[in-house]
Amino acid sequence: MLKFFKSKNLQSVKHGFFGRSGGLSTGIYSSLNLSEKTADSAVNICANRALVMDELEIPSQKIFFPNQQHTNKSVFINKETDLDNIKNIPADAVITNMNGIGIGILTADCSPILAYESDSGFILAIHAGWKGALAGVCENALNSLKDIGVNIRKFSVAIGPTISTECYEVKIDFVEAFIKNDPYFENFFIKKNDNYFFDLTSFIESRFNLFGVYDIVNLGLCTYGNPELFFSNRRAYHKSERDFGRMASIISL
């Protein structure tokens, strides 16, 4: 059975943060792996995507996942967009106000972000790992919408399953990279016994707050600490597994 989570502030639009259960994949990809960038069977991935689309009542051919590369780039989808032409463009945020199409991102520790602004009808899906978040993927997506007249302060934002702070230990050079960018960023690290831990979701929330966006729901679900529910890149590394599955987070008007 598919397991997915919804956010209370996005109830007026179709959306879901899917976990790892309910699919057809096996082994380390068990069972709802959605990523074509794995060694999983293409048949299983296609079937898994169909299951997700059926759950959200979106035609399976009307779903777009960007070519995630930990960038700060966004892609816009409108009625003139050829999805086949843009699917290989490196991007980690997708923006649209078209009805009947699902936009989504794939994660396995990074933050999946879904957002909706009811007046303009724009929806937004962002993949934000530490690299993209530090590079400004959230800010760039919001600026793109601001440039076309969207009142971004009215966005409702949800942050789905993400590696939690207590499971996200980092090295001092990681911390220094953030502080070099802005000394204030030191506030998003917790130090325990000379070890540093990064609060990714709070950092992301702060990026939205810069734009006056405060309707933010963090589902507070840890990917690393819930192996029965979620895939985790870091957990797979610690277990010396050769790869890991990716989960889908999708929003649609």
Question: What is the C-alpha separation between 240 and 185, in angstroms, rounded?
Answer: 32
156 pairs with which residues across the strands? 116, 215
Supply the pLDDT for residue 221: 98
Q: Is 235 helix (H, G, I), strand (E, B) or coil?
A: helix
4-5 and 14-18 strand pairing: antiparallel
Low-confidence ranges of the chain (pLDDT < 70): none
Supply the pLDDT for residue 141: 98
Q: Max alpha carbon distance in the chain (Å)?
A: 55
Q: Under a CB-based contact definition with an 8 Å cutoff, are residues 96 and 123 in contact?
A: yes
Question: What is the C-alpha separation between 127 and 113, in angstroms, rounded?
Answer: 6
3-state DSSP helix/strand/coil % of the chain, to nearest 5: 30, 25, 45
Nearest partner of 204 among 151, 142, 250, 251, judged by Cα: 142
The pair of three-digit structure tokens given for residue 160, joined into one six-digit string: 């789905």
What pLDDT, in 10s, does the model give residues 49-81?
999 999 999 887 789 999 999 999 999 999 999
Supply the pLDDT for residue 59: 81
E strand spans, 108-177 = 111-117, 122-128, 156-159, 169-170
E strand spans, the chain = 4-5, 14-18, 63-64, 74-77, 93-96, 102-107, 111-117, 122-128, 156-159, 169-170, 189-192, 195-198, 215-218, 247-252
Sketch the domain layout of the chain as residue ranges.
63-231
Q: What angle do CA 160, 216, 166 make, to 5 degrees?
A: 50
Supply the pLDDT for residue 89: 96
- The CATH T-level fold of domain 63-231 is CNF1/YfiH-like putative cysteine hydrolases (3.60.140)
Query: What is the DSSP annotation of 216-231?
Result: EEE---BSTT-TTT--
Cut 0.85: pTM above it? yes
Q: Under a CB-based contact definition with an 8 Å cutoff, are residues 33 and 245 in contact?
A: yes
